[in-house]
Amino acid sequence: MTELSWQKSTFSEGAGANCVYLAAAPTTGVIHLQESDTPETTLTTTPAALAALIRTLTRGSADLRR
């Protein structure tokens, strides 16, 4: 397996605690997600599914502000 290049989400706070890390597999385009508290657990998704989740969460937070 190709080693992944992890990047901290721009929405994560601080130097290491409570952070979400993302990496895209170079050959498949699959997105890998890790949370700093449990780095041994990795979730995988497609770019389209992650984009849909982000759109839904963004819309939901806008609805909460009303």
Give 7 or 13, the one with higher predicted confidence: 7
Burial class of residue 57, CB neighbours in 10 A (0-12, 13-18, 19+): exposed
Q: Tell me the domain boundaries of the chain.
A: 7-64
Q: What is the pTM of this model?
A: 0.73
DSSP state of 43: E
pLDDT at 66 over 80: no
pLDDT at 1 over 90: no
